[in-house]
Structure formats: structure tokens, C-alpha cells
């Protein structure tokens, strides 16, 4: 029986992690789940084409010490204006990994592509959700409830890949 250590950051990610735990334990694997407040910076990132992929892994840092994403979104808009680029393409990615103590590591990535829109729209979600308009959608992530967003978010795509990898 393998032991799985799974780190989660809370929110919808925690619900997805619980599904992975349920499936893994059903297959006879022992699972230990850890939760850390700092893991959220590793769970997802926002990247903007006109800013050469920034903020990327520094997405949370752009919000400052008080985690003010209103400030972060204003900073994104300011930096976009400074580039004079009309390119508003953006993507959110989430990487997840499960390391087996005596075996391989499973690493997956989920991605959702979209465009930036200003001013921010919606008060749902978190981070850069109010300025991110997913492809084929007319509403930002900030205007969608968790269930709607979960249909195609980068986190749900990463967890679906992880679930498939752990069960195959």
C-alpha cells in the first residue's frame, strides 16, 4: 500500500483534493492530507502575455503584504499601459504533484486561457478573477459562482488530470 501526501490550499481546491483522497483510499492507498496557508502561491498563477508572462509565480506577491488584489489588478492595468501593447491575452495555470515515497512523482498542470478586461467585473472568486475573461465566456471569473467557474478553471483541470493519473 502506497502513502500519498497531498497539499491543498483551501477553497475549491480542498473539495477537489477530497475527491482525490476518496478515490485513492477506495483503491487501497493510505492518504495523508496537509493544509498550509502558504501553499496557495504554488497552486495557481496568473500570466499576462503583454507582460511577458508576469506576474506568473509571483501572482500573490503583486497583491502586497496585505493581499490586496484590488492593488494587484491596478498594478496590472498600470503595467499594461506602460507597455502600450494591445495584447490582452492571459492564462491561469495550476500545477499539482503527488510524490510516492518509494516510487514516481505525478506532476500535472491545468490551464485556462482568456483575456484581461478592465475595469474589474464581479465580486466573486479571488485574486485576478474580476479581470479574467475566459475564452468563449462573456463573464469574468469574478462574475461566476464557484460551481460555474469550476467547470473549466485551471484548478479543476489540474485536479481532473491528477485524478486520472492516480487511477491509471
Say what the pLDDT of residue 77 is. Answer: 97
Hey, what CATH topology would domain 3-167 get?
Maf protein (3.90.950)
Say what the pLDDT of residue 7 is. Answer: 54
Say what the pLDDT of residue 30 is. Answer: 64
By CB atoms closer than 10 A (0-12, 13-18, 19+), residue 136 is exposed
Please tell me the pTM assigned to this model: 0.74
Say what the pLDDT of residue 29 is. Answer: 62
- Cα 93 from chain centroid (whole Å): 5
CB 90 within 8 A of CB 49: yes
Q: Where are the beta strands (DSSP E) in the chain?
A: 3-8, 30-35, 45-48, 55-56, 89-99, 105-116, 132-134
The ranges assigned to domains in the chain are 3-167
- pLDDT means over runs of 10, the chain (168 residues): 50 57 64 47 76 89 89 96 96 83 80 96 92 96 92 87 83
Amino acid at each position: 500500500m502506497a502513502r500519498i501526501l497531498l497539499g491543498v490550499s483551501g477553497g475549491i481546491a480542498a473539495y477537489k483534493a477530497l475527491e482525490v483522497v476518496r478515490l485513492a483510499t477506495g483503491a487501497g492507498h493510505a492518504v495523508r492530507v496537509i493544509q498550509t496557508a502558504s501553499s496557495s502561491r504554488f497552486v495557481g498563477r496568473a500570466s499576462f502575455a503583454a507582460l511577458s508572462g508576469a506576474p506568473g509565480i509571483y501572482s500573490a506577491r503583486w497583491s502586497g503584504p496585505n493581499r490586496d488584489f484590488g492593488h494587484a489588478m491596478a498594478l496590472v492595468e498600470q503595467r499594461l499601459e506602460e507597455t502600450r501593447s494591445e495584447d490582452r491575452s492571459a492564462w491561469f495555470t495550476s500545477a499539482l504533484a503527488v510524490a510516492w515515497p518509494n516510487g514516481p512523482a505525478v506532476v500535472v498542470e491545468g490551464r485556462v486561457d482568456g483575456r484581461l478586461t478592465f475595469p474589474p467585473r464581479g465580486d466573486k472568486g479571488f485574486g485576478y478573477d474580476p479581470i479574467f475573461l475566459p475564452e468563449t465566456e462573456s463573464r469574468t471569473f469574478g462574475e461566476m459562482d464557484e460551481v460555474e467557474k469550476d467547470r473549466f478553471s485551471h484548478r479543476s483541470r489540474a485536479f481532473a488530470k491528477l485524478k486520472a493519473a492516480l487511477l491509471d
